[in-house]
Structure 1
Amino acid sequence: MKDRSFITKCLTGCATLGVVSLMALSASPLQAEIEEIDVREVTIPVMIRKDFNPVLGMNVKLDQAETEISFAMKVGGVNPQFIEEIAVYKAVIDDKSGAVRDNVDPKPEALLGAIAGSDVRKGRAMIKCEEVDLQEGDNHLWVSVKLKPEAPIERFVELEVTDAKTPTTKRFRLDDAASKQRIGVAITYPSFPVKVQKTESRKVLEERVSKFSRIPGMVVTKKGTIVATFDNRYHHNGDLPADIDVAVSTSRDGGQTWSDVITCINARDLPGIGHGVGDPAILLDESNNRIWIAGLAAPKTGHPIWKSELGSADPSNCGQFVLTYSDDEGVTWSDPINITADVKRLDDPDTKEWGCLFQGPGNGICMRDGTLVFPGQIWGAKHMGVLVYSKDNGKTWTSSKAMEFGGSESTVAELSNGDLMLNTREGAGGLRQVGVTDDLGETWEKHDSVKSKKGQLRQPVCQAIMVSLFNEAGKYNLGTSARHVMFFSNPNAGNRSKMTLKYSRDNGDSWSDGLLYDQRGCMGYSAIYPIDKNYLGVFYEGQHGYLYFIKVPYREIIEAR
């Protein structure tokens, strides 16, 4: 993101061809002159199913109050037939700084002018609005684009503000005030509908409204179906214990459209346990196309999971590790399977200080030898990383020894030599903890990046996700000859903002600086998975109950360095 100030001279002549002109009219025009325009370039995808999508910010500085202003814009990229509306909004200003905060989710205060996409003809259109309230000095504005559901998510929205004008000011030209934003889909949004199902019968028990959603996970089946999982948080955005179910939504067209949200694990299927179930992780068994989802069921007593009893699997005082699976592309799901006693290994003295053991969250993996692995975390006397795995396609499950130098939420990837890397959130913040194992977690060693503190990944005390791609026979269009590449996603900042994709070609010894894909403040969790030969899918949290999906070309991530 860059800030540019454009102090421009008056220009004469007619409007530039191939532009959209946004005008605001008033019965009593004032005599304001534009003194300066600061343009804020942003990285914010334009989301289908969302009304306000800021693509460019401006601070228009006037020498006195004004009620009329116009902007000329070039519109490109996606065909205008897929644009519902282009609008200019007055921006919400931070009370303390008196400016727009770029590290939070931008919000509009008032609509100043708008134009329907159908009125954009050959790049030219006009809109008129009344009663525009612009003040002397700073006027922070957003240009927003609303898309139709059919807008192709592989395309971009391109928009450039070329000119600005008040009634008494001749046209002011702006140079290089352009924006190019990728297109995505809001899979969930505040107060979205949910079909709560009894798992195997598929009987809809009731239709509910979930105020919030969180904790994304995602896989793509061998038939190309994208299966996204997440928490339905019905009443508030808080964690377990609460009224929370694990849900899924699927896409059969590469992420363009999504099915209704249904539950796959709900508290009603957990008699004697249920005080909410959530924090899902998902994996695909490559050998049989079975999808597995793991969830954490809160203790029956309702007390927080960090108070789970050490060395116990009793559902009255310990969080429960539960699984469900689907053999039909995520349409129906099995009854929950409780594997808490199996993975806590109660007869093993090594586990006597293990309190709550649960999944990632986010994604698990199917190793090349067929082993199914969920990354896990142990909350007990201290926080530690762990693996939960099955070597018989999910018939039985067990756990590894603890990675004692690990933190809490974890993500796992297979390295080029078959070793596993566990990358964990660290409660102290700053940098992530990383361990490697060549024996499914019987022994652990700190990764070289942790030992040397070179190449360690930044974190703001938040979940992260990584995935390995084995590029045999040119399976993926990576734009590199590397046969093994890792991708990583998290907030690349000191707070939960600046969602970024990084890659590594050396088994995580070093990472690229990264490709910023959304700068806004957010809840920070994400899931990534290869969608097809060309695209990495990114399923991530926004704010206020939104979960977003975008597709990013592998080449773009790698070329970003």
Structure 2
Amino acid sequence: MKLTNFLLTAGMLLTSYTATFSQPASFIEFNGTDQYAEIPSHEDFNIDANESFSITCWVSVDALIQGQRFVSRRMLGEETQTTGYELWGGGSSTQYYAVNTPKPTTGNIFSDWCNVGTGATDTWMHLAMVINRADNTVTIYRDGQQGNQKQNDELDSWTVVNTNKIYMGSGCTSGSPDHLMDGKLANVRFWSKALTAAEVAADMNATVGPDTEALIAAYDFANISGLTVPDISGHGHDATLSGFDPVGSEVAIYSATAKADTNFTGRGNTNEIASSLVVAITGQEGNYTFGNLSLDLTGTTNVQDITAIKVYMTDQNSFDPRKAGEAELLGTCTPTENTVECTLAGESPVGTKYLWVTFDVAETAAEGNRVAIKPTMLDTKAVSSITTGSREILLGRTLLFAPGDYGSVAYRIPGIITAWDGSLVAITDKRKYNQSDIPEDIDIVVRRSTDNGKTWSEPVTMAQGTGQYHGYGDAAIVRTNTENELLCIFIGGNGLFASTTSNRIRTYISRSTDNGQSWSAPQDITDQIFRGERASWTASFCAAGNGLKTRNGVLMFVAAMRHDSGTTLYNHVVYSNDNGETWNVSNCAMEGGDESKVVELNDGRILMSIRRQSKGARYYTISDNVPTTTEAVSWTQKNTSTVSSWPELVEPACNGDIVRYTSTVDSYDKDRILHTLPNDGVNRQNLTMFLSYDEGRTWPVKKSICPTGSAYSSIAILEDGTIGVYAEENYNTDMYSTYFMNFSLDWLTNQADTYIEPGVEAVAAPVFSVSAGYYTEAQTLEITTATEGAQIYYTLDGSTPTANSTLYEDPITLSETVTVNAIAMKEGMSNSVMTSAEYTFLTEWEHPTGTIHDTESRYVTSATTTGAVEDLNYTLSSKPSTVFIDTQSAFTVEAGQEFTLRVQCTEQMIWCHAVLFADWNRDFDFDDEGEMITKVGIDSYEDTDQTLSANGNTMMKDFSVNITVPAEAKVAETRLRIQFSDAWHNKSAHEHTAMDNIDKGGCYDFVMNIEPSSDLPSGIDDDRTAHTMVYPTLFTEGVTLFATGNGEARIFDLAGRLLSRVEVSEGENYIEGTTLPAGSLIMVVTTDEGTKSFRVVKK
């Protein structure tokens, strides 16, 4: 059992690297099994009839468990001790925190859930319970927000006056702890007054002590000594830990807990977090000196992708890779293999420190490779891991804005486009004072990148908010028909649903004539939108992200509009036929829509993708015509009952983006449309990129680009043909950071598709001479391409091949399970798509699981053969303790010969049946035709005359089976299997397999060596090497080689090193193997008839 005090949760480490959050500075973690803290009973914790009372605390659960108690003073099972109070947790995200205040008889003064937000594991919550005698209410809070409140006049007489102890991390039933907590608890405080809502909110950041008014007791778990948790209120109500190891007085690391960052990273990134450690240092006085951190890089595709590992230390639970210089650097190392010892130099006083294991990514790192760095030992303290994982490398991933950057509380609503000069232009809402929408005070800011998103300019303000109802937001962007010009459309002023005809939400445009470097003042176009028949309409806003410029030069955005004072939204296209000088509005595409985007199809019609307010499959509709500068786009109006939807694009009611990637109209090889959405039917998470090859009818390709919290996103196609996404991401908080990600079509499609410039021919894909599949012997793989003069590069570790990978020059010998990936390249041509194949080499037989009989002795006492070349002689004198018995007992037979197997069993085996199997072709299964030899005994469903029920399968005590080895059986060491299972284990007719679950019986494997028939004809057919044979393939001292001619046998290890060379002659040869190393070996036999390879295994 382990005490993990002083530990901040790692669940908040990745929210935003610069934001400051209310969270405890130290905590205790309970294991949910036998750990809790106990406060002695004292009258201070009583609640008299005229007294108010409050409890506040921080909670983070590791699991949502129904009934787990956080703080409790209540004795279940004792009729005289039923009154009390308890804060506890439930088993779902909606039932995560409740309070019970039981009455003396039955029922509660208050018993209900909090109803503020949702709960999640590994997420800190500030919880409060307030009992207020002034108005006879019980109120509960979460994170300073009032949850449920109930008024009950019975509070006039309700009291909690008893001798019960107070428990932290458990409840109590009949004097024994129960309902134990699996999670973390911090800053538990008891108050002799009803805290106001403001005081509850202030408690989230408050420091308390002996001078704090109305404080009964408080526990911050920061200075535990032995098993004593001091009461920092000064009132002496110290708690005692149970189930923990005592905290000593010597300054030492008490615990170190790590959490892996599993987000994407990008080429060339520096100080990327691999793992974060929360380190608890305990003791009386002095500093602890760090010495060494052991790291395990298992899971890293290629350690050369890591140019440096750096370990930083901070006092607070936050680290910004952009400002790594503000942290203390403890050590740096460069990995050369998967185990790394990183020397540290630094000190820390007693308390909590945060270590950040970071890495720098090589500029040449292969897209799709992974980096995993797991801390295993900090000096002499083993590191425990909350989570493990790896970070996948993209072409780029860069943080543009985090909460707190440039003095702003929040940033939201990303939009991005590739400008005329190839630069990337990103637009974002700078939500200065909160994260809310218009009418809040919001600026629109712009950043540019001229190096494909690696670095970004300082923000430029496009539209400056000047207070509430005077802000701007939700910008969409398009490239106009004028070279170097961009146009943004956005809203400002009043809110969408507060908008009226007399005080409308405003629509603005702004232009840049220098590819996004500078912007014109906002131009109000609201009156153009609401003219004519729309004069009585009340509101309009265009969906943020990408607009559309059609081939005919029409600029388009989609507006969600209110036609009256109601809340129904109608989707209309806001368009300009004159490059944005004047604006008009199409007829309605959908009633009941929301934020929507448009893309032009090859036939010129417009496809509209529509946010679904009710969550679920995303809506879409297609225009009735091909719009031009003289003919407006037209729609058949749809509603939620008549509109089409995409079953693949399930969303949580969120904005997404849709853009044209390539079109055959523009001489590209394929039609491709891209769409981003959070692919989750409930929550905004799992941002996913979808790809359609059939003009948006279906979306066969999808890949998650942010598996965790994520919302709005925007797509740009870079000049090099790669894909850029600018997206909102968050991690267990409501605050978003905005990231730019860059990846290739190859990565998106798992190498099944590649981007080819129009008019550029692609190299033909590599062709493998050996098909993917299962193999039992070494294979020689040749790789070719139909493109003359092309070079082939390949990898054997599952990574994506590049020009830096191994150049294919000679055939590859495959003898171990491996994934081969290959691409072909030629100057002046586009790279081929990747060819991939997985080769699995079978080396052992799977065996079934199940049960042996609890009380009866059901087992084989003897198994023997007669008529074999070398007979089996197996005996067993006691009941095995396992279901599977690998006897290692061997016998030898010839191909085509008949032998007799005799099996003797204990008396109790009569209640089983037996099934015999043989792996004749040695493919490491028993599934081929003829490999189930026979069944001995019957099953209960076959017991028509009740003989089985009365007497059992009596033949099981001693039975014999005549077995004929197939003439075509493989000459090799293989297995004979006998399965025994209870005859009642399955009461319906069924097929038996060698992997059937064993019920109250056993499974016995015997080693069967098959030799070539002694009647092998002297005449040699056209393929004489087919009769070259080696047996047994699993050996201890040596093997027998039957050769069809004179020559030599060479034995290699799997690294290709020559271990032995032996001359062989036609016929039978014995090859000594005692000096060979144990393990898998490759024997290559070369005679005047040809060459053949065998895989053998030395025990």
**TM-score, normalised with respect to structure 2:** 0.38
> Is the alpha carbon distance of 1:144 and 1:90 closer, same or farther for their aligned partners in structure 2, counting shifts above 3 Å?
farther
Which 10-residue stretch deviates more, 434-443 or 406-415?
434-443
8 Å Cα contact 1:475-1:533 kept in structure 2: no
Match for 2:738: what amino acid? L
Once the two structures are overlaid, the 10-residue window that deviates more, 435-444 or 406-415, is 435-444
1:442 to partner: Cα distance: 2.3
Counterpart contact for 1:88–1:144, Cα < 8 Å: no
CA displacement, residues 185-206 of structure 1 (integer Å, 9 cap, x when unaligned)? 111122223xxxxxxxxxxxxx
Does the CA contact (< 8 Å) of 1:387 and 1:400 recur in 2?
yes
Partner of 2:550: 367
- Residue number in structure 2 paired with 1:307: 498
Paired amino acid for 1:466: I
| Equivalent in the alignment of 2:1080 | none
Q: Residue 165 of structure 1: CA displacement?
A: 4.7
Q: What is residue 73 of structure 1 aligned with on the other side? A: 296
How far does the alpha carbon of each residue in 1:92-137 deviate from its partner, in whole angstroms, 9 at most, with x for none?
9xxxxxxxxxxxxxxxxxxx997655x32646551337779999xx
In the alignment, structure 2 segments of 5+ residues that lack a partner are: 1-248, 280-289, 318-326, 626-631, 753-1099
Of the three residues 401, 424, 430, the one matched with 1:188 is 401
- Could you tell me which amino acid in structure 1 is paired with residue 265 of structure 2? P
Q: Deviations over 1:17-53 (max 9, x none)?
A: xxxxxxxxx9777999x9xx999783443699997x5
Q: Which residue identity is paired with 2:609?
A: N
Report if aligned partners of 1:390, 1:396 keep a CA contact under 8 Å in 2.
yes
Give the secondary structure class of the aligned counterpart of 2:537.
coil
Cα drift, residue 405 of structure 1: 3.2
Q: How does 1:510-521 map to 2 (within 5 A)?
A: 510-512=698-700, 514-521=702-709
Is 1:550 paired with 2:741?
Answer: yes
Aligned-partner Cα distance in 2 for 1:360–1:498: 21
CA distances 1:382-404 after superposition (whole Å, capped 9, x unpaired): 11211111111112111111223
Q: Is the partner of 1:520 in helix, strand or coil?
A: strand
User: Aligned residue for 1:222?
Assistant: 420
Q: Which of residues 328, 343, 368 is equivalent to 1:127?
A: 343
Q: Distance in 2 between matches of 1:212 and 1:170?
A: 38
Deviations 1:184-237 (A, max 9, x none): 1111122223xxxxxxxxxxxxxxx32221111111112101111111111111
- Equivalent residue number for residue 3 of structure 1: none
Give the whole-Å Cα distance in 2 for the aligned partners of 1:113 and 1:220.
39
How far residue 71 of structure 1 moved from its aligned partner, in angstroms, is: 3.4
Deviation at 1:453, TM superposition (A): 5.0
Alignment CA distance shift 1:91-1:43 (3 Å): farther
Paired letter, 1:361: A
AA matched with 2:424:
I
2:253·2:381 contact (CA, 8 Å) conserved in 1? no
The answer to whether residue 463 in structure 2 is matched with residue 463 in structure 1 is no
Q: Structure 1 pair 165/142, CA: closer, same or farther in 2 (3 Å)? A: closer
Q: C-alpha displacement at 1:367, in angstroms?
A: 0.9
Within 2, Cα distance between the matches of 1:38 and 1:80? 20
Instruction: Find the aligned partners of 2:558 and 2:254 in 1 and give their Cα distance.
Output: 64
Contact 1:218 1:529 (8 Å CA) reproduced:
yes
Residue pair 2:264, 2:391 contacting (<8 A) in 1 also:
no
CA contact (8 A) 2:261 2:273 kept: no
Q: Which residue of 1 aligns with 2:1063?
A: none
Q: 2:722 aligns with which of 527, 535, 560?
A: 535
2:492 pairs, out of 292, 297, 300, with: 297
- The residue number in structure 1 matching 2:615 is 429
Q: Given the superposition, is the C-alpha separation of residues 283 and 326 from structure 1 closer, same or farther in structure 2, using an over 3 Å criterion?
A: same
TM-superposed CA distance for 1:280, in Å, is 0.5
In structure 2, what is the Cα distance between the partners aligned to 1:403 and 1:222?
A: 31
Query: Structure 1 residues 158, 417: closer, same or farther in 2, change over 3 A?
Result: same
Give matches, 1:175-214, under 5 Å.
178-182=390-394, 183-193=396-406, 209-214=407-412
Aligned to 1:244: 442
**Offset of residue 509 of structure 1:** 1.4
Aligned ranges 1:438-449 → 2 under 5 Å? 438-439=624-625, 440-444=632-636
User: Which structure is richer in relative contact order (CA contacts within 8 A, separation 6 or more)?
Assistant: 1
Counterpart of 2:461 (choices 244, 258, 263) is: 263
Displacement of 1:275: 1.5
The DSSP-based 3-state class of the residue aligned with 2:748 is helix
Task: Write the distance in 2 (CA, Å) between the matches of 1:192 and 1:120.
Answer: 32
- 2 CA distance for matches of 1:274 and 1:49? 40
SS in structure 1 of the partner of residue 647 of structure 2:
coil
1:147 Cα deviation from its structure 2 partner: 5.0
* 1:49–1:186 CA contact under 8 A, matched in 2: no
1:279 matched residue in structure 2: 474
Per the alignment, residue 495 of structure 1 pairs with: 683
Distance (Å, rounded) in 1 between the aligned partners of 2:254 and 2:640 = 65
TM-aligned CA deviation for residue 181 of structure 1:
3.5
Map 1:1-80; keep pairs closer than 5 Å. Answer: 42-45=262-265, 54-55=273-274, 70-74=293-297, 76=302, 80=306
Is the counterpart of residue 334 in structure 1 residue 520 in structure 2?
yes
Q: CA deviation at 1:85?
A: 3.1
AA matched with 1:468: R
Secondary structure of the structure 2 residue equivalent to 1:556: helix
Q: 1:211, 1:545 within 8 Å by CA — same for their partners in 2?
A: no
C-alpha distance in 1 between matches for 2:638 and 2:600: 16
Distance in 1 (CA, whole Å) between partners of 2:402 and 2:267 is 11
Among all aligned residue pairs of Structure 1 and Structure 2, give the percentage whose two residues are the same amino acid: 22
CA–CA distance in 2 between the matches of 1:142 and 1:375? 48
Matches of 2:532 and 2:378 in 1, distance apart?
Answer: 78
Match of 1:85 among 286, 310, 335: 310
5+ residue gaps, structure 1: 1-25, 61-66, 93-111, 136-140, 194-208
Aligned letter for 1:85? K
Identify if the C-alpha distance between structure 1 residues 262 and 451 changes in structure 2 by more than 3 Å, giving closer, same or farther: closer
Q: How far does residue 555 in structure 1 lie from its aligned partner after superposition?
A: 2.3
In the alignment, which residue of structure 1 is the partner of 2:974? none
- The alignment of Structure 1 onto Structure 2 pairs a total of residues equal to 465
Contact 2:367 2:747 in 1 (8 A): no
Please name the residue that 1:4 is paired with.
none
For the structure 1 residues 248 and 125, does the alpha-carbon distance in structure 2 shift closer, same or farther, using more than 3 Å as the test? same
The alignment yields a C-alpha RMSD, in angstroms, of 4.5
Q: Give yes or no for contact 1:160–1:177 (8 Å, CA) kept in 2.
A: yes
Per the alignment, in what secondary structure is the counterpart of residue 499 of structure 1? strand
2:586 is aligned with 1:400: yes
Moved more, 156-165 or 356-365: 156-165
Provide the rounded CA distance (Å) in 1 between the counterparts of 2:267 and 2:454: 11
Decide whether aligned partners of structure 1 residues 354 and 178 sit closer, same or farther in structure 2, where only a CA change above 3 A counts. same
Equivalent pair of 1:287/1:370 in contact (CA under 8 Å): no
Give distance in 1, aligned partners of 2:698 and 2:639. Answer: 11
Structure 2: how far apart are the matches of 1:426 and 1:328? Answer: 37
**8 Å contact kept, 1:46–1:146:** no
Tell me the TM-score normalized by structure 1: 0.70
Summarize the Cα distance change of 1:162–1:184 in structure 2 as closer, same or farther, 3 Å threshold. Answer: closer
CA distance in 2, matches of 1:535, 1:450: 37
Please state how far the C-alpha of 1:330 moved relative to its aligned partner: 1.1
